[in-house]
Amino acid sequence: MDTEDKVLITGELEVLGRLVDASNASLLCQLEDGAQAIYKPISGERPLWDFPDGNLASREVAAFYISEVGNFGLVPKTVLRDGPFGMGAVQRWIEVDDSKDIVAIAQVSSPELRNMALFDVVVNNADRKFGHILITTDEKIYGCDHGVSFHEENKLRTVIWQFADTSLFSAEIEQLSQLLNDLDVDYLQSLLTGAEVDALQTRIRNLLVEAKFPLPNSDWPAVPWPPY
């Protein structure tokens, strides 16, 4: 474990303020090494009728796990730990470039957006808004706010639909096959329900069989609202 990871996992969190636009408690914190992080305590979550089991914080951590094991490299380091208001998800803060036009960038067919779109299909992201796409000054793309992911039903909602019905590349098929093989089911079951873990594996298998990005679900809104 490197020093940055140790500080994120065990270091003191000094609350600097709250992100007022967030629907659940999202607190900007200072870490001991001078870096910043977002702390989302479970105690500050609002119950969701369609995600009655588990908690959003654990799904945030599961999304980071899939990002790492699946070689997507999209989700900033995220851990489940204690904090000033109890257990919650703590995610390293990403400094974004406010001059970037996120809406315009999110509509292109770049490899980075394709990578994010595939990740969202895998985790069944029900809330990929423009504001959940983070772009740094060196144009690295990260994703955040994955608390409403991993539902056992198809609830994919995203602003990135330009790859729908597009055939997967051979490298993506290999990537998904490796992910399915490398999944630590026991670990995931400590974060998600058994039904959610089963559905995750089924989604990956279906992607491998169909070998293409899915079309929007006709029984579910295709785009989150508001989209930003």
Nearest-10 crossing angle of helices 194-210, 111-123: 130
Asked if residue 62 belongs to a domain, the reply is yes
Round to whole Å and give the CA distance between 50 and 47.
9
Residue pLDDT, tens place only, 72-108: 999 999 999 999 999 999 999 999 999 999 999 999 9
CA geometry: angle 61, 64, 67, nearest 5 deg: 155
Domain limits for position 163 = 3-210
Q: What angle do CA 135, 221, 219 make, to 5 degrees?
A: 140
- The pLDDT, as a whole number, for residue 1 is 66
> Percent of the chain beyond pLDDT 90?
89
Residue with structure tokens 């808004």?
A: 129
pLDDT at 157 over 70: yes
Mean of the pLDDT values across residues 48-65?
A: 93
Residue 156 has pLDDT above 80, yes or no: yes
Asked whether residue 43 is domain-assigned, the answer is: yes
Residue type, 174: E
The pLDDT value given to residue 206: 98
What is the pTM assigned to this prediction?
Answer: 0.96
Whether 11 is in a domain gets the answer: yes
Closest CA to 44 of 64, 60, 63: 60
Whether residue 144 lies inside any domain: the answer is yes
**Closest alpha carbon to 157 in 105, 102, 212, 227:** 227
Average pLDDT over residues 61-77: 98
Long-range CB contacts (within 8 A, 24+) of 19-23: 21/131
Question: What are the tens digits of pLDDT across the range 35-45?
Answer: 999 999 999 99
Please report, in angstroms and rounded to a whole number, the separation of the first and last CA atoms in the chain.
35
Residue 103 lies in a domain: yes
Strand-strand pairing, 88-92 and 133-135 = unpaired
Whether residue 141 has pLDDT greater than 80: yes
Count of C-beta atoms within a 10 Å radius of residue 123: 27
Does 2 score more than 80 pLDDT? no
CATH at 153: 1.10.510
Domain count, the chain: 1
Does any domain span residue 225?
no
Separation CA 79–CA 65 (nearest Å) = 9
pLDDT digits (tens, 9 = 90+) for 173-204: 999 999 999 999 999 999 999 999 999 999 99
171 part of a folded domain: yes
